[in-house]
Amino acid sequence: MALDSETLDHLIDTTARFVRERLVPLEAQVARDDAIPEGIKQQFRDLGLFGLAIPEEYGGLGLNMEEEVRIAIELGRTSPCFRSLIGTNNGIGSQGIVMDGTEDQKQKYLPRLALGELISSFALTEPDAGSDASSMRTIAKKDGAEYVLNGTKRFITNAPHAGLFTVFARTSDPASSKDKISAFLVEAPMPGLSLGPKDKKMGQSGSHTCDVIFENCRVPATALLGGAEGVGFRTAMKVLDRGRLHISAVCVGMAERLIADSLAYAMERNQFGQPIAEFQLIQAMLADSKTEAYAARCMVMETARAKDTGVTVATEAAACKLFASEMVGRVADRAVQIFGGAGYMSEYGIERFYRDVRLFRIYEGTSQIQQLVIARNMIRDAKAAA
């Protein structure tokens, strides 16, 4: 549902103030401790931020895509680990249920996900199946009224905190086609489900990933998402289309934050007797960053609005993810350059953002996968039109 403009403005203002007043001051602490304080998690719950994209009838805010990306841009203006806290419940961890779950599955999980009482994760990637998601090896074998899961999922965001996993597995032998991939809603803890140690990452401290290992893990047949075998891969792709747009919005917010910090620094830092912002070579960097971030913002808003009309936006969402994630990488690189030596020092935080944003070009589909999706869809559409 679309909120009335006053309610939406209030939500955006409240989120922006929360980011500015509560989250930004905690960035260094969270990076150092690799943990978000409990009180802050509670504030995310109180503001309803775990349920942005969950329909109202299941206790969420039921934002449409345009509204969601506007909030994601605000959340993007601080360390990405904060957005990641609510990212899976709003995105890849819940949308499979929203899109393809049975009514019982929706009733059972969505209200708790919306409240942030339950954390969800999306378990698609495996040690030997990253970009080539359909080559996954995890197997779910039917045994009476149960499925028995075996396999390992890798780099699973929020897995150390998750009480619910959307797990993608083959419901027939590993050599068979993607038509045999199914999705399961697996609760944790569960006998046969174990977690690897937390991964040590390049950035995004405070957000955690780890392996999720299934060894003869028995789940009831009712755990099959949507009650249908063989449609899991399409569910994953639809969920990722949406997720890619959300991540693009986060990239826009992060870029705008870095541009604001770079501009403020350039205006106060004096060299050769004047603020460095007066030098045209610095101005060129500021202008390029501003222009690219603006372009990404326009792409994201336009694609979100199109999605809200019911149009398929797989190509456009991939184009947004490709451009916005590469763009924020360039903006972060220029921010380090404008800050100079200070940009390389951890106390200024700019080098931390430079490391944090690197992930955007990789997860929810690498830039190369976005290129592949865009070009394949172009060729498909041209053939269909011929």
Binding residues for ligand COS (CB under 6 A): 124-125, 131, 133-134, 178, 233-234, 237-238, 240-241, 314, 363-365, 369, 372-373
Catalytic residue among 66, 67, 229, 364: 364
For residue 278, the minimal CB distance to ligand COS (Å) is 43
Q: Of 143, 136, 253, which is closest to residue 192 (Cα–Cα)?
A: 143
Cβ-proximal residues to 310 (8 Å cutoff; 6+ apart), any chain: none
Residue ranges in 95-231 assigned as alpha helix (H): 95-100, 103-115
Catalytic residue status for 278:
no
322 DSSP 8-state letter: H
Look at the block and give the residue holding tokens 């909120």: 3
Q: Which two tokens stand for residue 35?
A: 């943990």
Residue 233 or 323 having the CB closest to ligand COS: 233
Coil, strand or helix: which one is 270?
Answer: strand
Residue 116 or 232 having the CB closest to ligand COS: 232
For residue 191, the minimal CB distance to ligand COS (Å) is 26
Residue 82 or 363 having the CB closest to ligand COS: 363
For residue 281, the minimal CB distance to ligand COS (Å) is 38
For residue 306, the minimal CB distance to ligand COS (Å) is 14
Count of C-beta atoms within a 10 Å radius of residue 292: 20
Asked if residue 251 lies in contact with residue 360, where contact means CB atoms within 8 angstroms, the answer is: yes
**What are all long-range contacts of 338-342, with beta carbons under 8 Å and residues at least 24 apart?**
338/262, 338/265, 338/266, 338/276, 338/282, 338/285, 338/286, 339/262, 339/265, 340/269, 342/265
Residue 29 or 312 having the CB closest to ligand COS: 312
Give catalytic residues, as residue numbers. Answer: 364
